[in-house]
Amino acid sequence: MANTEPLPEPLPRHIAIIMDGNGRWAQRRGLPRIEGHRRGVRSVREIVEATADIGIEQLTLYCLSSENWKRPESELSRLMSLLEQFLIEERSMIMREGLRFAMIGRREGLTDGVLRELDRTTDLSQKNSGMRLCLALNYGARSEIADAVTRIAERVAKGELSPADISESLISDHLYTAGMPDPDLLIRTAGEFRLSNYLLWQSSYAELWVTEKCWPEFRRPDLLDALRAFAGRDRRYGGLRS
């Protein structure tokens, strides 16, 4: 879809979204929680296409946290099936839009079907040159940092690094997001004001924008509201206004 509305400047390079409120949206309407996740897929589709159209460099969506395994097994099973279906059905859109697909998080626990479709979409899209679409699956920021520290410690033990070599940039290079820009704008739906273990290291200077709308209600006009708010922020990174 061609962009026709004026866009605020500056635009963020990288938008990260906590897609919250699927279950609450469904329960308020007397629907099963899984129906909220199904309706949420519509929002994913629209926001992916909108961000690609606008010219955002990367969009990262928090799809499944490492804490979500505490949910009932029946809901998790349906979520896995829905995720596998999404990866199959949206592959044509990913290729049509020229998106580069990626996943961050631990692979352990994800079903064989989900892993197969993740790998297939990643491989097919690796030569694309458009927006990077990154799904955070079985993701937890504390686990990510712990995994990075473990890999660095292993390199120190092998003599490849000394403790004096450890820096912020080295840690960043060992995170799941190595090579990706940090998010400039972090959006959370459903009115919650917390990061929920999402991109804690990377979001140190991200602008936060929260809406009361649940994720199944989030659409392109809401995204534009977030972009306008971002454009109006004074980003000094700890310095003084010039």
Segment 95-108, tens digit of pLDDT: 999 999 999 999 99
- Check residues 64 and 165 and name the one with the higher pLDDT: 165
- 240 contact partners, CB below 8 Å, separation of at least 6: none
Residue 64 in tokens = 């499944």
Q: Using pLDDT thresholds of 50, 70 and 90, give the confidence band for residue 1.
A: very low
Give residue 68's pLDDT. Answer: 77
**pLDDT tens digits, one per residue of 11-29:** 999 999 999 999 999 999 9
The CA angle 46-132-57, to the nearest 5 degrees, is 85
User: What average pLDDT does the chain have?
Assistant: 94
- Check residues 73 and 240 and name the one with the higher pLDDT: 73
Burial bucket for residue 31 (CB in 10 Å: 0-12, 13-18, 19+): middle
Instruction: Please determine, for residue 115, whether its predicted confidence score (pLDDT) is greater than 70.
Output: yes
- Check residues 239 and 165 and name the one with the higher pLDDT: 165
Segment 159-164 mean pLDDT: 97
3, 22, 53, 68: which one is catalytic? 68
Give residue 240's pLDDT. Answer: 57
CA distances from 110 to 37, 107, 115, 230 (A): 17, 6, 7, 34
Give catalytic status of residue 20 as yes or no: yes
CA distances from 215 to 5, 86, 119, 200 (A): 23, 16, 26, 21
Q: Is there a contact between 145 and 175 (Cβ–Cβ < 8 Å)? A: yes
Segment 45-69 mean pLDDT: 94
Sign of CA dihedral 37, 43, 49, 52: negative
Rounded Cα distance, 202 and 180, in Å: 10
Give residue 30's pLDDT. Answer: 97
**pLDDT tens digits, one per residue of 184-226:** 999 999 999 999 999 999 999 999 999 999 999 999 999 999 9
Q: Using pLDDT thresholds of 50, 70 and 90, give the confidence band for residue 162.
A: very high
Question: To the nearest whole percent, how much of the chain has pLDDT over 90?
Answer: 88
Q: Position of tokens 């010219």?
A: 55
Give residue 242's pLDDT. Answer: 54
- Check residues 74 and 231 and name the one with the higher pLDDT: 231
20, 138, 184, 222: which one is catalytic? 20
- For 14-231, CATH number out of 3.30.70.640, 3.40.50.1110, 3.40.1180.10, 2.60.40.3620 equals 3.40.1180.10
Question: To the nearest whole percent, how much of the chain has pLDDT over 70?
Answer: 95
